[in-house]
Structure 1
Amino acid sequence: MSENYRSREERRQVQKKKQPASKKTKPKGKTSFFRKFLISCLLLGIVGLVAGVATFFVMIKDAPKLEKTKLVNPLSSKIYDKDGNLVYEYGKEKRTNVTYDQIPKLVENAFLATEDARFYEHSGVDFKGTTRAVLVSLKGDYGSQGGSTITQQVIKNYFLSMEKTSKRKVQEIYLAYKLEQQYSKHEILEMYLNKINLGNRSYGIATAAQNYYGKELNELTLPEVAMLAGLPKAPNNYDPTKKENVQRATERRNTVLGLMNRHGYITKQEMEEASKVDVEKGLKPATELQAMPYPAFMDAVVKEVEKELPDANIGSDGLEIYTTLDPKAQKLADNILNTNIINYPNESFQGAFTFMDTKTGEVRAIGSGRGENKAVFKGHNMAIELDRAAGSTMKPIFDYAPAIEYLKWATYHQIDDSPFKYSTGQEVRNADRSYSGPISMREALKMSRNIPAIKTAKEVGISKSKDFSEKLGITFNTAPTESTAIGTNEVSPTEIAGAYAAFGNDGKYTKPHFVKKVVYPDGKSQSFGQKPKPVMADSTAYMITDMLRSVVTSGTGTSANVASLDVAGKTGTTNYSSKQIAQYKLPESATRDSWFAGYTPQYTMAVWTGYMKDGKDEYISSKNTKIAQLIFKEMMSEMATDKSRFKMPSSVIQEGSELRIKGAKRDSSPNTSVPDTTEQPKQDQQQKTEEEKKQEELKKQEEQKKQEEQKKQDELKKQEEQKKQDEQNKQNEQNNGNGQGTPNPPNNGNGQGTPNPPNNGNGQGTPNPPTTGGGQGTPNPPTTGVPNPPTTGGGQETPNPPTTGGGQETPNPPTTGGGQETPNPPTTGGGQETPAPPTTGGNAGEVPANNGQ
């Protein structure tokens, strides 16, 4: 009954307490959350899929059409000069195409094993194969199969540019599927094998078989087929006709043989036997080039494009290549090297050079040898690939520019040109085997002194000089040593030209290049070249330029001077090691390499001359070391039209004819005897520094003191002789007047009975000792006078050579023109310096020394 009286609220609370504890509402909320999450993911997936599909269609919207004419007839590439005029169509030469029925099974299997083992299983894109290729490359096992199928490679090679973008990849996949729908597998394989770039100017497998082996496809052996199948990955690196590629080509061929065995195309025994065959076996000699204008320049163009765009097939991609070529300059270059403009000693004498724009780095012309070397294509191009010691042309780059840049030296900074040894104990000599004592940086560079150059590099620091040189495009195959300061590092004319151009371009370096841009068939383009990059202060560049003017106007490079142009430049020579001199019976003065590198505000040029191999009659004689300068002069005289002069920047202060950096701590006293090269060159005038004057004054005082001492000795001797004479006369008088019976001797007219000794003109009977030219009776002892220190700057005197014979000085050479003394010992070959003996640098073995030019 009591329950009947409970309120409604009380009854509700009682019922709530009686409900089971397990009945809760939370599970309902959790289920709702997961349901919402799944729905959201589904919606996002749908949105993403729609967006992806939309993006895919946007990307393929402008994909090129699969034109059958392009697939059947590969397109040649057009090469233009600097003004956009067509010069040559590359790849237009005869091709040998084959049908699928003409392709031997061995050839097909080799390319399938190497490039696309699942070719007959996929539909244009092999996602499974791509995944496997990634895993294989991670394991380092062969690593030769790429992710692209043969079908994709056909699309890539025939229709698309080489840019690495997601859009291009999407188009490649789309077109590969489309190609598989329109053509059979055999047709696609035929397209691939007829177009593939196999190096050595070979596009297509049949052409390659002829160019490499002189064979038809069905005549090729297993090792030959494997070599050809390995080429597409990197034709230039695996081409066995190039000696430097033989090892790489062998390894690549053996990789192909291993893949053929893995996929069951050949047995293990066949693989092992083929791997033992010399990769060069059966290769035929290089074929004659078909008519091609400017083959050396074209070679440089093709090599640059292949390096920058490794996936491009120049012979079949239909590229438009715009180059930096100046046909007028190139024709002149060819004529200079291969006509009688210059009197070359013989046919074996070679020359190579690079002629480029000082400001832009664009190469206008190159010389790559004489005779058979002039027609180089896909061979050794000396202008860009030569490796010869640079000699003294490295001194501005490795020694003096870093000294100005890092040590703030003025052009009149004094360097001690005195006996010096490398840290190994090897003696270093100047070309003339003499020493100048304190010498200015300008004069050391102008006269190409070796010892000051090495001391300068050591003071800067070899590693810092290396870093500075590398910013100018100089490469080092080995770690630089002290001898690098005088040019033992091997370089090409293009490297040296690029470095010197930076001096003429206010310290900004632009890498030399042969191509401006490449335009693909789809209209996309790839620009080449770089923007000028500051690598040194403008003060450093100008001060080097000003000193190099002195080299051309009054130093070792006068044969390169062009009167109407503002020319700066440097000579460089190297000689043979003592071992080579003995082996080939060469004269001591034989030169191995002769260089000249110079520039004007408009053009820069680096020239090398010499012989390609060493031999008894293959050396540069003293009279021919200036041919490099004459080549430079011929090119500049004809091509350089800009008569402007290099402008001195505000960061440089001129003191007389010398220069220093504004704001830098003042260097040692300037010598103003070097011509003021900011104006027209003037005749050098002699002027002595304060230090030299002091030394001369000390010398005079010492000589005067010696003369006074000698006078005193002579006077004492005279007095002694007079005393003896007086005593003798007195004794004679006593004998004549003492009544003794001894008869008097005949009278000599002086009233004395004793005959006088012969008179020497001094009134004394005793003969004087021989005089030494000073009227003194006793000979002067040899002097030990301090030699006059050399003056620095233009018009300076040649330093007295080392004293000989008890300290006696060797006389100075006769003076020439305007009181100026002839520079140092006799020159050879029209002013050429005598080569120094071979030097060694660091811990290296004997290396050809710098002749000091």
Structure 2
Amino acid sequence: MSENYRSREERRQVKKKKQPASKTQKPKGKTSFFRKFLITCLLLGIVGLVAGVATFFVMIKDAPKLEKAKLVNPLSSKIYDKNGDLVYEYGKEKRTNVTYDQIPKLVENAFLATEDARFYEHSGVDFKGTARAVLVSLKGDYGSQGGSTITQQVIKNYFLSMEKTSKRKVQEIYLAYKLEQQYSKHEILEMYLNKINLGNRSYGIATAAQNYYGKELKELTLPEVAMLAGLPKAPNNYDPTKTENIQRATERRNVVLGLMNRHGYITKAEMEEASKVEVTKGLKTATELQAMPHTAFMDAVVKEVEKEIPDVNIGSDGLEIYTTLDPKAQRFADKILNENIINYPNDKFQGAFTFMDTKTGEVRAIGSGRGENKAVFKGHNMAIELDRAAGSTMKPIFDYGPAIEYLKWATYHQIDDSPFKYSTGQELRNADRSHLGPITMREALKMSRNVPAVKTAKEVGLNKSKEFSEKLGITFDSAPKESTAIGTNEVSPTEIAGAYATFGNGGKYAKPHFVKKIVYPDGKSQSFEQKPKQVIADSTAYMITDMLRSVVTSGTGTAANISSLDVAGKTGTTNYDSKQLAKFNIPESATRDSWFAGYTPQYTMAVWTGYMKDGKDEYISSKNTKIAQLIFKEMMSEMATDKSRFKMPSSVIQEGSELRIKGEKRDSSPNTSVPDTTEQPKQDQQQKTEEEKKQEELKKQEELKKQEEQKKQEELKKKEEQKKQEEEKKQNEQNNGNGQGTTPPANNGGGQGNTTPPANNGGGQGNTTPPANNGGGQGNTTPPANNGGGQGNTTPPANNGGGQGNTTPPANNGGGQGNTTPPATTQPDTGGNAGEVPVNNGQ
């Protein structure tokens, strides 16, 4: 076969033989291996770099933004007393911000030496320190070594959580670098020192200086600064206020001193001298650090601010709250309730009160519970949140105040104290279960009679009385009933104090308040002060005040009287209904609530006493109903310094010891010609008019004429007596001469007795002296000498038998018609309880 037909393989072999021989190939060596290794490493490096960069961007992708708003610290609010002195700093984090210029160099150096010695050299991250921290973390002990710079700590405190992960660490580094690009070193250091947690709810160096030492930053000593600079590592472990931490705190403080020396901030001698100082020197005690002073008052302050400004956050908005608190008054208030000034029957017996300025409405102190019921912060505060029936304490507010305001009654207006039934048919009783008939409004209030109070409110109109009460700050949960007139409406001591202060302030109401003003961090302020507003006539206010004086001097509130002060006030009690008495086996005389509200020109105080729960042994016995009055008396005696008296306004006219509104006609009620005999101060006597002076001159002239006539009558009388004696003498001589030596005995058996009338100085009928009529018939008459020749005055005492009482008129020295003034009930005062009835028995 020809060559052209050879197989493909054969042709390949032939061709191969025809080619020249090739050069000998070198064997593969080490060079190609290293080349491949380097290429592989390079490729892996590129892949790793790409993966690392990708991972980095993935980690920082959801890193928080450096928003300026987040760099604003939540600020605690400072609460000051009425004098502008700091009382308490309130907030989850106690914090006071300072600027870099306010940070002493000693403080800056201590923290730099301890936390970040290369702060001014790095750009946010100290890679040497970070590498050390990473190596430690690989051993499973992440975070035990401090690798974070001050800048990183700022990022961690303001923007990141406290979790310890690689992602958070990467974000920390990234954000620290960004922060350094946007803010100066001084600004970053300022952020750090204002944010750092230094234990005991102290956030920021300035707050810590106050909390631990009670000092400003510039006042701190080297040992004190070193102690504070050592706290950030572990505040709870190095807090020297805890006894168990003193040794650790001392060692840590000395470490800081050593670092300050190493970095050239202090000399060796300064270090050694500071190390000798006790770490506890100058520290506040743990109790001083933690305790909230005047808890009940602070609670009332915070609640008032939150109510008036609902969107405010007192714990973080950095407010300056200036209050009405008088620390001296508040300390004594706490003392009254919790020490042995008052003899309380047991630990369950409670008391609550509000003590305020009469003219401004500023509350100076409050009492809120005893023992286990003592007020706690953000808890139930009895002084402002108690809801208990006020009993007769409401009578000046709901009954007699409106009667003067709307009906223009005088204090001597007569009210019929006779049997009365509510519109439901239920009988209303006075405390002594008796009735006195017509009595003056002053007497009805002074002796706390229930029937006149309800009759008064009904005559005014219940809705009008409610309207009047609301002007004085009293609130109502429902429409008023007849029984509201005797105090069934539930109130707090603060409400009652505000109402009574209105009477003492000439009819001007200022809402009781605990805050004077607040100042925001930007310097703007908001006033809380209440401008007194004229809500009732000054005549009404003064006439109520004058009648309430009578309550304290000679009525149910005598235990609250203070001789050196002009005091006006009213008692109030409530009782248990029949179901409660039976359920708890309580005596019928038991009292549920006992109140006293009173005031002077300077202060007003409303006091409640009682038990929080109804129970067998949890009631006020008759001997303890005056405790409310005693609390009032102790507080006023301690705090009141103004000895002035209430001034009668020109709108009131005084008639004797009684009052009426100027320009109003004399009260047309029957038997009102003589006012009550309650003694009034000389300062309150109204200047007499010319007409009254003329009347007095006429009376004096009449008196002189009567005295002359009286002398003539006496001379005639003497002559008649002498003539009579001579006749008797002659008669006796005749009898003796006739042998009749008989002297008729006294007539004891019912015949006509011998009558020897006393002298009638007025020239008329002699006096007859019968015994008292206790059985119900016509009483006997025992008039004294009638020196004027006219009819004597008639003053009926209590009728003990049910019929006409005995009539004992005093001397009528002026001639003419006498006046009628019914006396008070003969029922004894039972500790301020007179006049009170079970409020549950009302409608």
Q: TM-score range by the shorter chain?
A: 0.5 to 0.7
Which residue of structure 2 aligns with residue 800 of structure 1? Answer: 799
1:320 paired to 2:328: no
Question: Following superposition of structure 1 onto structure 2, how do residues 109-124 of structure 1 map, counting pairs within 5 Å?
Answer: none
Which residue of structure 2 aligns with residue 81 of structure 1? Answer: 81
Asked whether the equivalents of residues 566 and 645 of structure 2 are also in contact (C-alpha less than 8 Å), the reply is yes
Provide closer, same or farther for how the CA distance between residues 810 and 796 of structure 1 changes in structure 2, counting only shifts above 3 A: closer
CA drift of 1:798 comes to: 5.2
Asked whether the equivalents of residues 623 and 830 of structure 1 are also in contact (C-alpha less than 8 Å), the reply is yes
Does the residue aligned with 1:344 lie in a helix, a strand or coil?
Answer: coil
Which residue of structure 2 aligns with residue 348 of structure 1? Answer: 348
Question: Following superposition of structure 1 onto structure 2, how do residues 652-671 of structure 1 map, counting pairs within 5 Å?
Answer: 652-667=652-667, 668=669, 669-671=672-674
Provide closer, same or farther for how the CA distance between residues 597 and 670 of structure 1 changes in structure 2, counting only shifts above 3 A: farther
- The Cα offsets for residues 733-765 of structure 1, whole Å up to 9 and x where unpaired, read as xxxxxxxxxxxxxxxxxxxxxxxxxxx9999xx
Does the residue aligned with 2:361 lie in a helix, a strand or coil?
Answer: coil
Asked whether the equivalents of residues 797 and 806 of structure 2 are also in contact (C-alpha less than 8 Å), the reply is no
Which residue of structure 1 aligns with residue 677 of structure 2? Answer: 674
Question: Following superposition of structure 1 onto structure 2, how do residues 601-640 of structure 1 map, counting pairs within 5 Å?
Answer: 601-640=601-640
Which residue of structure 2 aligns with residue 543 of structure 1? Answer: 543
Does the residue aligned with 1:665 lie in a helix, a strand or coil?
Answer: coil
Asked whether the equivalents of residues 507 and 535 of structure 2 are also in contact (C-alpha less than 8 Å), the reply is yes
- The Cα offsets for residues 548-580 of structure 1, whole Å up to 9 and x where unpaired, read as 000001110010011110000000001000100
Question: Following superposition of structure 1 onto structure 2, how do residues 143-182 of structure 1 map, counting pairs within 5 Å?
Answer: none
Taking the aligned partners of 2:751 and 2:457, their CA distance within structure 1 comes to 48
1:471 paired to 2:474: no
Asked whether the equivalents of residues 297 and 365 of structure 2 are also in contact (C-alpha less than 8 Å), the reply is yes
Taking the aligned partners of 2:291 and 2:356, their CA distance within structure 1 comes to 25
The code of the aligned residue for 1:448 comes to S
- The Cα offsets for residues 577-632 of structure 1, whole Å up to 9 and x where unpaired, read as 01000100001100000000000000000000000000000000000000000000
Provide closer, same or farther for how the CA distance between residues 830 and 358 of structure 1 changes in structure 2, counting only shifts above 3 A: closer
Aligned-residue sequence identity (percent) comes to 77
Taking the aligned partners of 2:581 and 2:807, their CA distance within structure 1 comes to 32
Question: Following superposition of structure 1 onto structure 2, how do residues 482-497 of structure 1 map, counting pairs within 5 Å?
Answer: 482-497=482-497
The code of the aligned residue for 1:408 comes to K
The code of the aligned residue for 1:407 comes to L
Taking the aligned partners of 1:87 and 1:646, their CA distance within structure 2 comes to 34
Asked whether the equivalents of residues 82 and 324 of structure 1 are also in contact (C-alpha less than 8 Å), the reply is yes
CA drift of 1:376 comes to: 1.9
Does the residue aligned with 2:366 lie in a helix, a strand or coil?
Answer: strand
Which residue of structure 2 aligns with residue 357 of structure 1? Answer: 357
- The Cα offsets for residues 175-207 of structure 1, whole Å up to 9 and x where unpaired, read as xxxx9xx99xxxxxxxxxxx9xxxxx9x9xxxx
Which residue of structure 2 aligns with residue 575 of structure 1? Answer: 575
Taking the aligned partners of 2:564 and 2:584, their CA distance within structure 1 comes to 43
Asked whether the equivalents of residues 392 and 836 of structure 2 are also in contact (C-alpha less than 8 Å), the reply is no
The code of the aligned residue for 1:671 comes to V
Provide closer, same or farther for how the CA distance between residues 373 and 326 of structure 1 changes in structure 2, counting only shifts above 3 A: same
- The Cα offsets for residues 430-466 of structure 1, whole Å up to 9 and x where unpaired, read as 0000111100000100000000000000000000000
1:785 to 774, 778, 784: 778
CA drift of 1:836 comes to: 3.7
Taking the aligned partners of 1:835 and 1:811, their CA distance within structure 2 comes to 30
TM-score (ref. length: structure 2): 0.54
Gaps of 5+ in 2: 1-65, 96-157, 159-178, 184-194, 196-200, 204-288, 686-743, 756-772, 782-793, 809-820
1:429 paired to 2:432: no
Asked whether the equivalents of residues 552 and 558 of structure 1 are also in contact (C-alpha less than 8 Å), the reply is yes
The root-mean-square deviation of aligned C-alpha atoms, in Å, is: 3.6
Asked whether the equivalents of residues 610 and 620 of structure 1 are also in contact (C-alpha less than 8 Å), the reply is yes
CA drift of 1:74 comes to: 1.5
Asked whether the equivalents of residues 358 and 599 of structure 2 are also in contact (C-alpha less than 8 Å), the reply is yes
Taking the aligned partners of 1:435 and 1:781, their CA distance within structure 2 comes to 17
Taking the aligned partners of 1:336 and 1:495, their CA distance within structure 2 comes to 21
Which residue of structure 1 aligns with residue 388 of structure 2? Answer: 388
Which residue of structure 2 aligns with residue 529 of structure 1? Answer: 529
CA drift of 1:676 comes to: 3.7
Taking the aligned partners of 2:780 and 2:382, their CA distance within structure 1 comes to 48
Taking the aligned partners of 2:374 and 2:336, their CA distance within structure 1 comes to 11
The code of the aligned residue for 1:436 comes to L
Gaps of 5+ in 1: 1-64, 96-157, 159-178, 184-194, 196-200, 204-288, 683-759, 789-794, 813-819, 843-853
Taking the aligned partners of 1:762 and 1:640, their CA distance within structure 2 comes to 66
Provide closer, same or farther for how the CA distance between residues 307 and 782 of structure 1 changes in structure 2, counting only shifts above 3 A: closer
Does the residue aligned with 2:609 lie in a helix, a strand or coil?
Answer: strand
Taking the aligned partners of 1:787 and 1:376, their CA distance within structure 2 comes to 66
Question: Following superposition of structure 1 onto structure 2, how do residues 388-467 of structure 1 map, counting pairs within 5 Å?
Answer: 388-467=388-467
Which residue of structure 2 aligns with residue 646 of structure 1? Answer: 646
Asked whether the equivalents of residues 358 and 601 of structure 1 are also in contact (C-alpha less than 8 Å), the reply is yes
Does the residue aligned with 2:682 lie in a helix, a strand or coil?
Answer: coil
Taking the aligned partners of 1:658 and 1:454, their CA distance within structure 2 comes to 22
Taking the aligned partners of 2:439 and 2:643, their CA distance within structure 1 comes to 32
The code of the aligned residue for 1:358 comes to T
Question: Following superposition of structure 1 onto structure 2, how do residues 43-58 of structure 1 map, counting pairs within 5 Å?
Answer: none
The code of the aligned residue for 1:800 comes to N
Asked whether the equivalents of residues 500 and 604 of structure 1 are also in contact (C-alpha less than 8 Å), the reply is yes
Which shows bigger deviation, 561-570 or 670-679? 670-679
- The Cα offsets for residues 78-100 of structure 1, whole Å up to 9 and x where unpaired, read as 000001100000015589xxxxx
CA drift of 1:372 comes to: 2.3
Provide closer, same or farther for how the CA distance between residues 615 and 325 of structure 1 changes in structure 2, counting only shifts above 3 A: same
Does the residue aligned with 2:511 lie in a helix, a strand or coil?
Answer: coil
- The Cα offsets for residues 365-391 of structure 1, whole Å up to 9 and x where unpaired, read as 000011122242111100000000000
Does the residue aligned with 1:334 lie in a helix, a strand or coil?
Answer: helix
Taking the aligned partners of 2:751 and 2:455, their CA distance within structure 1 comes to 43
Taking the aligned partners of 1:649 and 1:506, their CA distance within structure 2 comes to 8
Does the residue aligned with 1:89 lie in a helix, a strand or coil?
Answer: strand
Taking the aligned partners of 1:681 and 1:628, their CA distance within structure 2 comes to 29
Does the residue aligned with 2:330 lie in a helix, a strand or coil?
Answer: helix
Question: Following superposition of structure 1 onto structure 2, how do residues 646-795 of structure 1 map, counting pairs within 5 Å?
Answer: 646-667=646-667, 668=669, 669-679=672-682, 771=750, 784-785=777-778
Which residue of structure 2 aligns with residue 500 of structure 1? Answer: 500
Taking the aligned partners of 1:513 and 1:491, their CA distance within structure 2 comes to 16
Taking the aligned partners of 2:453 and 2:475, their CA distance within structure 1 comes to 20
- The Cα offsets for residues 22-46 of structure 1, whole Å up to 9 and x where unpaired, read as xxxxxxxxxxxxxxxxxxxxxxxxx
Asked whether the equivalents of residues 798 and 821 of structure 1 are also in contact (C-alpha less than 8 Å), the reply is yes
Which residue of structure 2 aligns with residue 153 of structure 1? Answer: none
CA drift of 1:674 comes to: 2.2
Provide closer, same or farther for how the CA distance between residues 783 and 322 of structure 1 changes in structure 2, counting only shifts above 3 A: closer
CA drift of 1:423 comes to: 0.6
Asked whether the equivalents of residues 675 and 681 of structure 1 are also in contact (C-alpha less than 8 Å), the reply is no
Asked whether the equivalents of residues 552 and 569 of structure 2 are also in contact (C-alpha less than 8 Å), the reply is yes
Question: Following superposition of structure 1 onto structure 2, how do residues 65-80 of structure 1 map, counting pairs within 5 Å?
Answer: 71=72, 73-80=73-80
The code of the aligned residue for 1:315 comes to G
Taking the aligned partners of 1:474 and 1:70, their CA distance within structure 2 comes to 47
Provide closer, same or farther for how the CA distance between residues 473 and 77 of structure 1 changes in structure 2, counting only shifts above 3 A: same
CA drift of 1:523 comes to: 1.2
1:517 paired to 2:517: yes
1:824 paired to 2:825: yes
Taking the aligned partners of 1:773 and 1:88, their CA distance within structure 2 comes to 90
Aligned residues: 491
- The Cα offsets for residues 31-64 of structure 1, whole Å up to 9 and x where unpaired, read as xxxxxxxxxxxxxxxxxxxxxxxxxxxxxxxxxx
Asked whether the equivalents of residues 648 and 684 of structure 2 are also in contact (C-alpha less than 8 Å), the reply is no
TM-score (ref. length: structure 1): 0.54
CA drift of 1:531 comes to: 1.2
CA drift of 1:665 comes to: 1.5
- The Cα offsets for residues 518-542 of structure 1, whole Å up to 9 and x where unpaired, read as 1111111111132111111100000
The code of the aligned residue for 1:497 comes to A
Provide closer, same or farther for how the CA distance between residues 613 and 783 of structure 1 changes in structure 2, counting only shifts above 3 A: closer
CA drift of 1:323 comes to: 0.4
